[in-house]
Structure 1
């Protein structure tokens, strides 16, 4: 069975979307997924499932979370090989080494058009930098994330798609978890 990585949007952040990771693991197992493991409290999971597309898993898990858990979230699912490509395509390798907490990978529901990425880049008022590839975007926040005007709401509006973000430290933790599953 292939391994998949799942990232939940807006779980255990700012008092919203409360979902203990033990409950997430139990629920995913109840859905028939195997070898379920989680990392951190922000809704990051690894599991095995029958061969299917990540998009179909996203739809299934998002709908089931609403029905079974009363949780309004979105699941972003990637295969283990796709996650390796997310890391390999990082356009900010020096920042990944020198300032990993301020480099964020955004997992996107849909791949934005080049014009949408350009509109987002044009809308940046600070020193943030954005690059996109497929269903991922990479944002470097040299002055920190907390005070930045480049929020997820702004990003989603400009790119025309929902997203969730993980800093490079979490990206690496998920890569290590994926490697242990191989």
Structure 2
């Protein structure tokens, strides 16, 4: 039995740097033995089916293959569709009432608890807010990510040191949930 996964690549195809063409990413995933491969947007979202049940092994395999193919390292997260559905279902903000650009999910490589963000005065950023979930941070930024002071603070090296994290707007999260349905 195979599982549908989403691969979330971090920091590619930004301002013409670290180019990973999506057609080549699809080919690479197929060459790795995965089925039903597709991509979404140019920002590093791929969906595939695999018989493997080990997302960490899939992640390591994909990172090695991307480094070998493109000549630079790319951090990846691999998450099963069931996990993505649980992220969408557990959203603490009224996602249906918000524009996709106002709500973001930052996915982490491991669980992160509130103590990780203890140095951040979240109240100083209102009406922006964040909440933690299972290996995910939900960010409500009413004016969008580009204008978000809270997103900027959350991305500071002191808070992200040692973590692999990559963010997606809510429209992308919803699309990946749809694309990973078994």
Query: TM-score, structure 2 length as denominator?
Result: 0.88
Q: Is contact 1:34-1:49 (8 Å) kept? A: yes
TM-superposed deviation, 1:4? 0.8
Of 136, 144, 164 in structure 2, the residue corresponding to residue 162 of structure 1 is 164
TM-superposed deviation, 1:156? 5.6
The residue aligned with 1:55 is 56
Distance in 2 (alpha carbons) for counterparts of 1:60 and 1:106: 22
- Deviation readout 1:102-152 (Å, 9 max, x if unpaired): 2001111121132114434x2674332111112111111112211223228
Q: What secondary structure is seen at the aligned counterpart in 2 of 1:22?
A: helix
Q: Is contact 1:9-1:164 (8 Å) kept? A: yes
The residue aligned with 2:174 is 172
Distance in 2 (alpha carbons) for counterparts of 1:16 and 1:124: 35
The residue aligned with 1:65 is 66
Deviant stretches of 4+, over 3 Å: 117-120
Give the RMSD, CA atoms, in angstroms: 2.0
Runs of 5+ consecutive residues of structure 2 not aligned to the other structure: none
Q: What secondary structure is seen at the aligned counterpart in 2 of 1:151?
A: helix
Number of residue pairs matched by the alignment: 178
Distance 1:152 1:70, change over 3 A: farther
Counterparts of 1:34-113 in structure 2 under 5 Å? 34-92=35-93, 94-113=94-113
Query: TM-score, structure 1 length as denominator?
Result: 0.88
